[in-house]
Structure 1
Amino acid sequence: MIEFQKVTWKNFQECIKLELKEEQKNYVASNLYSLAQSYVALLNDDLPAMTFAIYAEEKMVGFIMMYHETAEENEFGDEACYGILRFMIDKRHQGQGYGKAALAKALAYIMTYPQGEAASVYISYAPENEAAKNLYKSFGFHETGQLIEGETVVKKVL
């Protein structure tokens, strides 16, 4: 069973030590960088980023960072949306179904509208990242035809 837990002083060091495989390191910013970004957002934005350590059976296996934007803030469309900005499963825990279970958990969480109503959810991935492409497609995400910083943008209507 997958759980999301807040990143706290108790699990901070473990979270920033999670790693991707060498060939995946260009796909996702480090968890340390992501947590720094969420801190800046906390101090400057109306709604802070939603960051969680991903746990399976009491063991930290990954990290996720989500956000909410109003229709006016949404750079990909004209509707209020959620986005998954960072999503990673540690190299030691890949291939065990945790990514799929964690994405299902993230979408269920988003459907509770924790920071407000939304019509869709967006995520992006490096075009060569076939695993991410296939995972997102299996959950009903479709390509928007947009690129952001060289990454393919996909959308799921809620």
Structure 2
Amino acid sequence: MEFRKITWENFIPCIELQVTEEQKSYISSNQHALAEAYIAQDEGQDIITFAIYKDETLVGFIMMYYDDGSGNFDYSSYGIFKMMIDQRYQGQGYGKEVVAQAIAYFRTFPRGAAKVAELTYNPENAAAKKIYDSFGFVQTGKVLDSGEVHAELVL
């Protein structure tokens, strides 16, 4: 599993990746996520996006962030904002590999020190919950207006 920069060469294939019809209610399109990343970065947020490859095959997309804790939060954190594996490659353990790689990436503290890794997910998304629980993410009790639950992992 390898995280690669999104470039002109892989941009279109990346936005064409799709989740299953059932999963579309849990996650926005990659095109939408990249537009959000552009705006967030323009507003000074530290957004990290990668195309996900298994060997030489593009299998997914991840959007992460770093918050240094100087804003509205009590401590610094890395987070997974969006992660998806294309429907053609699901069920092969890639989602779990991606989370492991993201945690390993966070633990190198590439943008600065951080106390936790955090993420949110729809509580009805049993597959996501199972993956996050397996790495030790713990629900904090916070629930977003969207109904997504917040979970953290101490780095």
Equivalent residue for 1:94, pick from 90, 93, 96: 90
Report the Cα distance in structure 1 between the residues aligned to 2:72 and 2:85, rounded to whole angstroms: 27
Please provide the CA RMSD for this pair. 1.1
Size of the aligned set, in residue pairs, is: 154
Equivalent residue for 1:59, pick from 46, 57, 60: 57
Indicate if the aligned counterparts of 2:46 and 2:67 stay in contact, CA closer than 8 A: no
Quote the residue 2:140 is aligned against: 144
Report the CA distance shift for 1:116/1:144 in structure 2 as closer, same or farther (over 3 A): same
Q: Deviations over 1:93-133 (max 9, x none)?
A: 00001111111111111111111100001111101000000
Quote the residue 1:133 is aligned against: 129
Quote the residue 1:122 is aligned against: 118
Gaps of 5+ in 2: none
Indicate if the aligned counterparts of 1:143 and 1:154 stay in contact, CA closer than 8 A: yes
Aligned-partner SS, 2:15:
helix
Report the CA distance shift for 1:101/1:74 in structure 2 as closer, same or farther (over 3 A): farther
Letter of the 1:68 counterpart: Y
Report the Cα distance in structure 2 between the residues aligned to 1:145 and 1:74, rounded to whole angstroms: 18
Letter of the 1:107 counterpart: I
Report the Cα distance in structure 2 between the residues aligned to 1:19 and 1:108, rounded to whole angstroms: 26
Report the CA distance shift for 1:74/1:51 in structure 2 as closer, same or farther (over 3 A): farther
Report the Cα distance in structure 2 between the residues aligned to 1:93 and 1:71, rounded to whole angstroms: 36
Runs of 4+ in structure 1 deviating by more than 3 angstroms, as ranges, are none
Letter of the 2:27 counterpart: V
Indicate if the aligned counterparts of 1:74 and 1:81 stay in contact, CA closer than 8 A: no
**What's the offset of the Cα at 1:74?**
5.2
Report the Cα distance in structure 2 between the residues aligned to 1:119 and 1:74, rounded to whole angstroms: 15
Report the Cα distance in structure 2 between the residues aligned to 1:48 and 1:155, rounded to whole angstroms: 19
- Percent identity of paired positions between Structure 1 and Structure 2: 49
Gaps of 5+ in 1: none
Quote the residue 1:13 is aligned against: 12
Aligned-partner SS, 1:104:
helix
Report the Cα distance in structure 2 between the residues aligned to 1:120 and 1:157, rounded to whole angstroms: 4
Aligned-partner SS, 1:49:
strand
